[in-house]
């Protein structure tokens, strides 16, 4: 079980009106791990990080303790936007999230994205 990181990619978020929002120099992390300690992956200077999960298990457990403030954007296998969650753990308590999605974009919060207008993700590695 290996995690590959330190790759940079450009992200395009496609909106309902077919316009795009581009995020540059986004860290790309590819992993086969079923459980991820996100404090070991993210650092406070990162504005965005794309996680690509490659294992065949149904769910991945994300430990988001001390990972704040981020919006987590979830995408299906066709890279269509499926939903979002927030990691705003202001109290520093233990916070875990379980997800079936294999593509997750972490975006520093607050951000200017209108989540109800997102439809799809595109990036230069795929």
pTM here is 0.90
What is the average pLDDT across 76-94? 89
Parallel/antiparallel/unpaired status of strands 48-53 and 20-31: parallel
Q: Considering only 26-35, 36-45, 101-110, which range has the smallest mean pLDDT?
A: 36-45
Q: How far apart are CA 29 and CA 38, in angstroms?
A: 11
What mean pLDDT comes out for the span 50-77? 94
Sketch out the chain's domains with CATH numbers.
3-123 (2.60.120.1140)
Position 122 scores a pLDDT of: 92
Quick one: pLDDT at residue 43? 75
């Amino acid at each position: 079980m290996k995690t590959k990181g330190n790759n940079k990619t450009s992200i395009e978020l496609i909106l309902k009106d077919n316009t795009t929002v581009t995020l540059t120099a986004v860290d790309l992390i590819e992993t086969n791990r079923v459980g991820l300690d996100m404090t070991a992956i993210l650092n406070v200077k990162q504005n965005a990080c794309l996680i690509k999960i490659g294992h065949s298990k149904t769910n991945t457990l994300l430990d988001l303790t001390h990972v704040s403030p981020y919006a987590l954007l979830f995408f299906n296998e066709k890279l269509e936007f499926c939903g979002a969650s927030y990691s705003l753990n202001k109290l520093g308590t233990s916070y875990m999230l379980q997800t079936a999605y294999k593509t997750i974009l972490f975006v520093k919060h607050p951000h200017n994205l209108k989540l109800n207008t997102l439809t799809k993700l595109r990036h230069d590695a795929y």
